[in-house]
Amino acid sequence: MHKLLKYLFLVCVCLFAVSGHAMVQSPAIIEPAVDPLSEAGRAYIEGDYIKAAKLYRPMAEKGDAEAQLILGSMHDAGLGVPQDFKEAAKWYRMASEQGNAKAQSKLGSMYDIGLGVPQDHKERIKWWRLAAEQGEAFAQLNLGAIYDHGKDVPQDFKEAVKWYRLAAEQGNVFAQEKLGWKYILGNGVPQDDVLAHMWLNIAAGNDFTPGRKVAIEQRIQQRDAIARRMTAGQIAKARELARKCIAMKFKGC
């Protein structure tokens, strides 16, 4: 095995072991887009979750999909109500059946790990696909990973790249990192060190979530490992492409 590829492989293994970056990513507890002008929304924003839950419940029961999503997320996290994954899944499902993409993404994740519902990989793909087709970035990332690994679908690197790119264009750092690796390996795209360096550079500099220092440092190690086989001109080109890509908000990179 080529020394560089061996090094990159070891870095990748280390990243997965240390950061817990699984094959698919579950969205964190949803931060709902609450209406600050409503009484329920103000209560939620002010941290009065007990009051917010009481106000959102009748709205959810009347079929308000956003209220169903919010109530589901509150049960998911135990905000103002007892933590209850079955109850969370119930409300996510009701919102999902009305086409709410965030709820569909979260419901897919619950089926993925069997949280509040029986584990069911066909159901996770169903809900992630519906959410991904509506532009939900986490669902796009996860659907890409499923095609990437050939898990419950035929392995298809081009299809994986398609979904990774859609998520990457929304600023999802995991998808940006995945794209970097696709260009390193030439899976689903032509092998290209310049574009691999660009995407890993973007993923390293675009992650502002607290607690990801190790993951960021290892993306930098991956990027620098590629740079060892690149010319100075290629590295300069990759950096310029990264700058332009960020300026274009990751579209058309």
How many C-beta atoms surround the C-beta of residue 148 within 10 A? 23
CB 109 within 8 A of CB 127: no
Summarised one tens digit per residue, pLDDT across range 38-63 is 899 999 999 999 999 999 999 999 99
For residue 209, pLDDT over 90 is answered with no
pLDDT band of 29, cuts 50, 70, 90: low
Residue-averaged pLDDT of the chain: 88
**pLDDT in the model for residue 238:** 98
3-class DSSP string for 111-136: HHHCCCCCCCHHHHHHHHHHHHHCCC
How many C-beta atoms surround the C-beta of residue 146 within 10 A? 25
Summarised one tens digit per residue, pLDDT across range 114-166 is 999 999 999 999 999 999 999 999 999 999 999 999 989 999 999 999 999 99
Residues of the chain with CATH 1.25.40.10: 29-134, 143-253
| Tokens matching residue 58 | 């009748």
Considering only the top CATH level, what class is 143-253? mainly alpha
Could you tell me the maximum CA-CA distance found in the chain, to the nearest angstrom?
A: 63
Nearest Cα to Cα of residue 250 among 175, 192, 186, 193: 175
Q: What is the pTM of this model?
A: 0.85
- Which overall architecture, per CATH, does domain 29-134 show? Alpha Horseshoe (1.25)
